[in-house]
């Protein structure tokens, strides 16, 4: 088990991804995001996760620059949004993200959702063309690893019908009460890294009495318990906070271990499964 933020998961292509990512979902493209990213890196995070649709790639990039940490010491992820599919369009979207971030390469590039509303009539073919472009970016060493996000079983199976490179990661919502066991099993079987976004349930875990009581027993915060839960499950958690005091606090998870009984109790919760959006019916 990991002992610090500097350690990481090894993707099947040998690239190492720092064990806890710093999420930036819903952070405004202002000094708030820039400061949060810079402070996260200062606190020891080396993995920053953003996306085109978050609208904050510019300030993530300025926060990275402000940190003063060498680029090669960082792991930066962004994602292809739903309005873009197709070979040339995907290359152009990648270039735009790089420019906004102020970088000359990415560490991980993901297809954000598998069945966007704009391309719902032909999502399978649309994903195949975008993935072909992403494979080209990978072959050209413009990105060190490639993957997907929010892909369920049938989305992954469809992509693999034409893919020459198996995705190296699948970023999905995972937390106690929203387990997605079938997707997890599929990824584990294909050696695809499971990235757990919203590991605190977008804040819902703060209102979950069993989790609150368990965190107290470990003398840890709810966030720390949930992040540690992800790590012990073998998932890469991507917690987000723009509260400066909580940035370092959320990473203070290497000095305790959740018991097998408590891991089982957390895994058996099912109160929040409805928080998972269905990519095939989502209105975006």
- Catalytic residue numbers? 54
Among left, alpha and beta (phi > 0; psi -120 to 50; other), residue 219 is left
The residues near 194 (Cβ < 8 Å, ≥ 6 apart) are: 169, 170, 172, 174, 184, 187, 188, 234, 235, 236
Which spans in 111-218 are helix H? 123-139, 153-160, 181-189, 209-217
Strand-pairing partners, residue 110, are 79, 147
Task: Give CA separation, 145 vs 9, 35, 61, in Å.
Answer: 13, 27, 19
- Hey, is 235 helix, strand or coil? coil
Question: Of 115, 107, 177, 169, nearest to 137 (Cα)?
Answer: 107
DSSP-derived secondary structure for 28-91: -TTHHHHHHHHHHHHTT--EEE--GGGT-HHHHHHHHHHH---GGG-EEEEEE-TT--SHHHHH
| Under 8 Å between Cβ of 18 and 46 | yes
Counts for the chain of helices (H) and strands (E), in that order: 10, 10
Q: Which phi and psi (to 5°) does residue 262 adopt?
A: -70, -35
């Amino acid at each position: 088990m990991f002992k610090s933020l500097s350690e990481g998961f090894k993707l099947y292509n040998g690239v190492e991804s720092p064990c806890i990512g710093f999420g930036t979902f819903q952070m405004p493209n202002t000094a708030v995001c820039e400061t949060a990213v810079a402070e996260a890196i200062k606190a020891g995070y080396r993995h920053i996760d953003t996306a085109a649709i978050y609208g904050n790639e510019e300030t993530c990039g300025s926060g990275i620059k402000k940190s003063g940490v060498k680029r090669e010491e960082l792991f930066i992820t962004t994602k292809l949004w739903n309005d873009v599919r197709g070979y040339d369009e995907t290359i152009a979207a990648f270039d735009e993200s790089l420019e906004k971030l102020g970088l000359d390469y990415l560490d991980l590039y993901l297809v954000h959702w598998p069945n966007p509303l704009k391309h719902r009539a032909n999502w399978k073919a649309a994903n195949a063309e975008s993935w072909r472009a992403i494979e080209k970016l990978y072959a050209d060493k413009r990105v060190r690893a490639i993957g997907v996000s929010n892909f369920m079983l049938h989305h992954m199976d469809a992509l693999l019908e034409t893919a020459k490179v198996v995705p190296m990661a699948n970023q999905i919502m995972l937390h106690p009460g929203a387990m997605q066991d079938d997707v997890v099993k599929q990824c584990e079987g294909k050696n695809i890294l499971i990235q757990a976004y919203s590991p605190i349930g977008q804040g819902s875990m703060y209102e979950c009495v069993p989790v609150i009581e368990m965190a107290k027993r470990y003398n840890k915060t709810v966030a720390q318990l949930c992040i540690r839960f992800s790590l012990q499950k073998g998932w890469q958690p991507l917690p987000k906070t723009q509260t400066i005091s909580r940035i370092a606090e959320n990473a203070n998870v290497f000095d305790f271990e959740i018991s097998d009984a408590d891991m089982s109790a957390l895994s058996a919760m099912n109160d929040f499964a409805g928080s998972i959006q269905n990519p095939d019916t989502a209105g975006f």
